Amino acid sequence: MSREIPLPRDAQITLTQHILRHQSERFRGSLSTLITQIGVAAKVIAAQVRRAGIIEVWGQTGEVNVQGEEVQRLDEIANDTFMSVLEQSGCVAAMASEEEDDWLKVPEAIAGEYLVVFDPLDGSSNIEVSTSIGTIFGIYACSSPPQEEREVLLPGREMVGAGYVIYGSSTVFVYADQTRVDCFTLDPVVGEFLLSRPNLRMPTKLGMISVNEFNEPYWPEWMGALMAELKERNRDERVITGRHIGSLVADFHRNLIKGGAYLYPVDSHNKRGKLRLLYECNPLAFISRAAGGSDTWGAGSVLELHPTSLHQRTGFAVGVKEAIELVERHYKREG
C-alpha cells in the first residue's frame, strides 16, 4: 500500500524548493532559476567574505567608482561574481550595477527575460572591521531586451521581486515578491540556503531608529523636529533605541525583524540624498512594503519615482509604517 511522503519541516526547505513552491504561475520557470542562481552568487561571495583577512581581499584596488568612492577589493570580487553568474544564468537580458558606469546588455545568444539591478556589496567601508555587509538586488521582467538606457530606468513599483544577502554572523538570503518575504540561512555544512524565517512581517511597533546623527548639522529643519519628537517618547521610559551600523542592508534587516526605521534624508552635504535609488532604495522599499512596512523619499514612496539616471540618489526612510508616516508629516510641515 502506498503512503504519502510527509512534507519536510520548514527548516529543511531549500531556497530552490521554496521558490518553486511559491512562484506565481506568471513567473514560473525562469524567475525561479534566476533566484537560485543569485543564491549561487551569494555563496561564492560569502566564501570570500568569510576568508577576508586570510586571503587577499581586504583593502582598496586604487580605483574610484562611478559614485566617487574608493573601490575595495571585495567590492570588485562581488561585482564580478554577480555579473558573471547573472550573465551565464540564461535568465537575464540586461543588468545595472552600482559599481559600473553603464548598464550592461547580455549577449543575445544567452539572454533571458529579466533585468537585474544590484549593489554587489553594500556597506563596503565595513569590510575591514568584520561587520555585516551585503548584496542588494531588484528584478524586473522585460518584454524584449532593453536597447537603450531609458528602458533600464524603470520605476521601482514595476519590480517583480527583490532581495538581499547579508554576510554577517550568519549568511542570510531574504527574498520578496509582491505578497511575501522569506528569509533563508546558509547552512555552511551542507552548502544550501534553508528556509529560516518564513513569511516575515515587519513589526508595527517602532522600537529603534537607525540614522547617522552626526549629520545633524546638515539636516533640514524637519529632521531635527522629527528626532526631537521621537526622543520625547523616551521621557518616562525607554521605548525607542538607536542602532546604526552604517551598512544600510544590515540596518534594514535588523529593523525588519525587530521593528525599526532607517533614515537618510537629503541634507546640505548630500543635496540629492546619499543613497542610490535603483540599487539600494527601490529593492529595500519593495521588501519593506511586502512585509507590511513602508518607505518614503519625503512625500511618497521611492517606488513611484521615475529614475532619470542610473546612479540617481534620493532621500530615504524605510521601516515600520508608523515611523514613515511621521517622517511624511514632518516633511510636509517643514520640507
Residues of this chain that bind ligand AFP (CB under 6 A):
69, 122-125, 212, 246-248, 274-275
State residue 279 phi and psi, 5-degree precision.
-95, -25
Strands 92-97 and 114-122: parallel
Minimum Å gap between C-beta 212 and ligand AFP is 4
Quickly list DSSP for 253-310. HHHHHHTEEEEE---SSSTT-SEEIIIIIHHHHHHHHHTT-EEESSSS-GGG---SST
Between residues 39 and 273, which has the closer beta carbon with respect to ligand AFP?
Answer: 273
* Cell numbers given for 176: 520578496
Nearer to ligand AFP, 69 or 149 (CB): 69
Closest contact distance (angstroms) between CB of 97 and ligand AFP is: 12
The nearer residue to ligand AFP, 182 or 267, going by C-beta atoms, is 267
Q: In DSSP terms, which residues pair with 70 in a beta bridge?
A: 64
237: phi > 0 → left, psi -120 to 50 → alpha, else beta; which? Answer: beta
Output 132 or 196, the one with its CB closest to ligand AFP: 132
DSSP string over 59-74 = SEEEEE-TTS-EEEHH
Quick one: 120 or 307, whose CB is closer to ligand AFP? 120
Q: Considering the complex, what minimum distance in angstroms separates the CB of residue 274 from ligand AFP?
A: 5
Query: How do beta strands 133-141 and 171-176 pair?
Result: unpaired
Please give the span between the terminal C-alpha atoms of the chain, in angstroms, as a whole number. 71
CA distance 8 to 248: 34
CA-CA distance, 135 to 150, in Å (whole number)?
A: 24
Which one, 19 or 127, has the nearer CB to ligand AFP?
127
Closest separation in Å from C-beta 52 to ligand AFP: 15
CB of 2 to ligand AFP, least distance (A): 53
Nearer to ligand AFP, 98 or 182 (CB): 98
> Does residue 256 come out as left (phi exceeding 0), alpha (psi in the -120 to 50 range) or beta?
alpha
Instruction: Please state the closest distance from residue 275 (CB atom) to ligand AFP, in A.
Output: 6
Considering the complex, what minimum distance in angstroms separates the CB of residue 262 from ligand AFP? 7
Read off the DSSP letter of residue 235.
Answer: S
Closest CB to ligand AFP among 74 and 142? 74
Least distance from ligand AFP to the Cβ atom of residue 127, Å? 8
* Helix (H) or strand (E) segment spanning residue 47: helix 30-50
Cell readout for 253 is 534587516
Which residue is at the shortest CB distance from ligand AFP? 248
